[in-house]
Chain A
Amino acid sequence: MTQRTRNLLLLAPAGTWFLVMLIVPLTVVLVFSFGERGASGGYVPAFTLEQYANLPARWAAFKNTLMLAPIGTFAALVIAYPLAYYLAVLASPKWKTMLLVLVIVPFWTSILIRSYAWIFLLGGRGIPALLELIGIEGVRLINTPFAVLVGIVYGYLPLMVFPIFVSLDRLDKRLLEASSDLGATRIRTFLQVTLPLSLPGIATGSLLVFILLMGEYLIPALLGGGKVFFVGNALVDLFLQSRNWAFGSAVAATLVIIMLISVTLYMRLISKLGAQREDVSLM
């Protein structure tokens, strides 16, 4: 077996998978996006930019997605970093493993069930009822952007915690001593050593959460109550309810393009921050 055939064989399963499950559907979406809606729904071949011209009709979905995905990513980062720091740097080895397991435990239950729990918590008989007890009245949480934000941060937190935990866990703790020895306060040690060296974890975690949030569907549907909807919800609506495949494809294609651009810009920024560092090799 030559080197070449062996390489091809190694790549064949993944390559086939990519071709069938990614390239072909994406091509179909792209082709459909230039077509027209049939009289009774579905797709009629055509070449028109009409669907793209109609995009502003779905502006609200794009606006929600483009606001809540970055905000959600950032909120997850702000909440996950201290937790990951505690787990990696401060927690005693005895507790570390158990605490890490606790971080994953929510994954053992379906996100659907967990989101229903949040519907109750954020709903009229949940947190607002508690707030009324202490005299804060008229707080409405469910079906607001805040509810969706709570849901997505809750759902995706572990995906942020783990990469950051790994990068902090790998961090040579002697570097922190060295920094202190050289006269840096704890805060300056954190800003000058810990934070830059955990950048790979921050970058990976943020990217992971951001990409998944851009395509999120379930949490806005449950906690947004049709008032706060993402592009994902718009797509479900277009393909299944209005059966406008052509317009749906245009919306989908636009989302893919927006993600490509934002992820590329983000990676550029990260590699600039990492300044050709050997240890910042993202994807």
Chain B
Amino acid sequence: MNKGEYTPGREGGGKKIIAELRAVSKRFGDVLAADDLNLAIEEGEFLSFLGPSGCGKTTALRMLAGFEAPTDGEVLLDGDVVNKLDAHLRPVNMVFQHYALFPHLTVAQNIGYGLKQRRPRPSKAEIADKVAKALDLVQLKGFEDRRIWEMSGGQQQRVALARAVVNEPKLLLLDEPLAALDRKLRKDMQIELQNIQRSLGITFILVTHDQEEALSMSDRVCIMRAGKIEQIGSPQDLYDRPRNRYVAGFVGSTNFFDGKVANVSGSVANVTLGNGQDVTGEAVHDLHPGQDVTVSVRPEQISLSTKASDGSLPVTVLNRIFLGEHTEYLVRHDSLGDFLVLAPRLAELNEGPFNTGDVLQASWDAGAALVLENN
């Protein structure tokens, strides 16, 4: 197919801002579902809203779609304020969480639904042609006349996607699109969604509570909590430089140790942990001595050894899970509590594998620990 047909004209060089939230808030009765959201979405990017249920990510999406009007602030699409523009007039399409496919229409009629609403109405041949291309894109050629209930969950998901992209929207909104699929199918669809997004060049905005989904597909991830944006950045940014304890906990798995800042020099902070032990870590934000902080150390950055080294922590192995490439150990320190260690297979060539009950020394490189604000 001619993939160029779906590609909206990109302006050469600098990326254009296709959608924007400016100080947007949304109140439902006493609940502040979205609290002063500020966000600029670039044309052609794949952005995810990530957060637990009730964090306001779906509200943000619904305000972009036009299903909710912001209580305060402005929603912009392509440079225009669209606060009062009805959903049916916005050049935005959505893939709904449970697909919301029309049960009384065939697959082809579902996909052609949006084209049929256009005025002047495209010719039947034109609609059929675009529907065929969209079906081809989602690999459902030959399913035109099927009924929705004759399709599997994964196929329905593809129909929902085709029904949205066929309209060549400026923004494609995806509300937990993969949540209803089983694990294997979800993996496949993640890759496919990314491929489709790249080949069409349409801006995708995904809402998900699944961190792996957000991190693996998006160019940028917007982490939300209680109606607020906690941090926006590339998946790697968020993983390496989380703004606070909440973000660090949400992106990948990590170990937290509570402590107090002893002193700060530049971006390096010395922290006294609960057990009186001093550790050094990278301060992601400005910290001041005496501040209560969290030291975050990723499990893969901790190594285990039978030999003690400077600053190493004596631990007991509580549990071992073999994961193939890695082995995951749950270890216990007398005063710091339990934490996870992920040992790559290569490391185990020298020492290990260890067994439950082994008494070992855990240590990490000075740069591996992040000192984070507590909220």
The answer on a CB contact under 8 Å between A180 and B100 is: no
Chain A CB within 8 A of B113 CB: yes
Contacts of A279 in B (CB 8 A): 103-104
On whether the beta carbons of B100 and A197 are closer than 8 Å, the reply is no
Interface string of A165-195 (1 = CB under 8 A from B): 0000000101101111111110010001100
Query: Can you report 8 A-B residue pairs in the complex whose CB atoms are below 8 A from each other?
Result: A174-B96, A175-B102, A178-B96, A180-B67, A182-B117, A182-B163, A183-B114, A184-B113
A-B contact count (CB 8 A): 65
Q: Which residue of B lies closest to A183 (CB)?
A: B117
A210 to B290, CA, bound (A): 82
One of B87-95, B292-300, B328-336 at the interface: B87-95
A-B pairs, top 10 by smallest CB distance, nearest first, are A182-B114, A183-B117, A178-B100, A174-B100, A180-B87, A180-B88, A184-B117, A196-B104, A181-B94, A183-B88
- Determine if B86 is an interface residue (Cβ-Cβ < 8 Å): yes
Interface size on B, residues (CB 8 A): 25
Count residues of A near B (Cβ-Cβ below 8 Å).
Answer: 21
B322 at the interface (CB under 8 A from A): no
Is residue B147 within 8 Å, beta carbon to beta carbon, of the partner chain?
yes
- Tell me, in angstroms, the Cα distance from A118 to B240 when the chains sit together: 79
Confirm or deny: B3 has a beta carbon within 8 angstroms of a beta carbon on chain A: no
Task: Give complex CA distance A278, B105 in Å.
Answer: 11
Residues in B whose Cβ lies below 8 Å from that of A274:
104
CB neighbours (8 Å) of B147 from chain A are 277-278
Contacts of A196 in B (CB 8 A): 104
19 further A-B contacts with Cβ under 8 Å, apart from A178-B101, A182-B163, A197-B103, are A172-B100, A175-B102, A177-B67, A177-B87, A177-B94, A177-B100, A179-B113, A180-B88, A181-B65, A181-B66, A182-B113, A182-B114, A182-B117, A182-B167, A183-B88, A183-B167, A184-B117, A193-B102, A274-B104
Using CB atoms and an 8 Å cutoff, list the residues of chain B in contact with chain A.
65-67, 86-89, 92-94, 96, 98, 100-104, 113-114, 117-118, 147, 149, 163, 167
> A181: which B residues are within 8 A, CB to CB?
65-67, 87-88, 92-94
- CB-contacts of A174-227 with B (<8 A): 174-175, 177-185, 188, 192-193, 196-197
* Cα A177 to Cα B114 with chains together (Å): 12
| Residue of chain A at shortest CB distance from B166 | A182
Q: How far is the CA of A277 from the CA of B106 in the complex (A)?
A: 10
Provide the bound-state CA to CA distance between A174 and B163, in Å. 15
State in angstroms the CA–CA spacing of A185 and B117 once bound together: 8
Task: Write out the residue numbers on chain B whose beta carbons fall within 8 Å of the beta carbon of A178.
Answer: 94, 96, 100-102
B65 to chain A, nearest CB (A): 6
Q: Which residues of B contact A278 (CB under 8 A)?
A: 103, 147, 149
